[in-house]
Amino acid sequence: MPYMMVDIEADGPIPGDYSMICFGAIIVEPELNRTFYGRLKPISDKFIPNALAVSGFSRQETEAFDDPKSVMESFRDWIKVECKVRALFVSDNNGFDWQFVNWYFHHFLGNNPFGFSSTNLGSLYKGLVKDTFVNFKHLRKTKHTHHPVDDARGNAEALLAMKEKMGLKINFE
């Protein structure tokens, strides 16, 4: 089963009322060279300036981004080409990232190619080391920049380190 690390940036806390501004995805494998990046035009007039600021974009810039439906279609099509079987969605904060990706897929396309579940990278690490008070972020190589492809890459590097250095039983086929 292919693992896909996903990271999103949004202008607020929930989909529908607020907008996913951009997202990145990377297929977890040693090369880390299969990536997707999408920038989406806002779907709502509502936004929280401090939340939007994390993305590095202004509201005016986001209004020139791509149509959300076409971005989600492109992402779905990319997933179909890159993953011959259903991929597993993995995220640093899947409670946040998953809700936006899932909502956008269902709202704009009627279904989600990831199915109905996701995995939280932080929880996986906590279980692996049997300590709920630690985090995995020291395993990243790529700096966390809030560009979603960079952040997804760093998280994918952490998952690879869990396999290679810590013995996590996982198959990226």
Per-residue pLDDT tens, the chain, 173 aa: give them.
899 999 999 999 999 999 999 999 999 999 999 999 999 999 999 999 999 999 999 999 999 999 999 999 999 999 999 999 999 999 999 999 999 999 999 999 999 999 999 999 999 999 999 999 999 999 999 999 999 999 999 999 999 999 999 999 998 76
Handedness of CA 158, 113, 34, 9 (dihedral sign): negative
Q: Using the structure block, give the residue that is written with the tokens 């996986």.
A: 124
Give the right CATH number for 3-164 from 3.30.420.10, 3.40.50.2300, 3.40.50.2000, 3.40.830.10: 3.30.420.10
- Rounded to 5 degrees, φ, ψ at 49 are -50, -40
Burial 10-35 (b: 16+ CB within 10 A, else e): bbbeebeebbbbbbbbbbbeeebebb
What are the domain boundaries of the chain? 3-164
C-alpha to C-alpha distance for 112 and 102, rounded to whole angstroms? 6
pLDDT at 173: 67
C-alpha to C-alpha distance for 54 and 12, rounded to whole angstroms? 10
Contact 39, 71 (CB under 8 A): yes
94's enclosing H/E stretch is helix 94-109
C-alpha to C-alpha distance for 40 and 45, rounded to whole angstroms? 14
The residues that are catalytic are 146
Amino acid at 50: N
pLDDT at 172: 77
The two counts, helices (H) then strands (E), for the chain are 6, 5
pLDDT at 171: 85
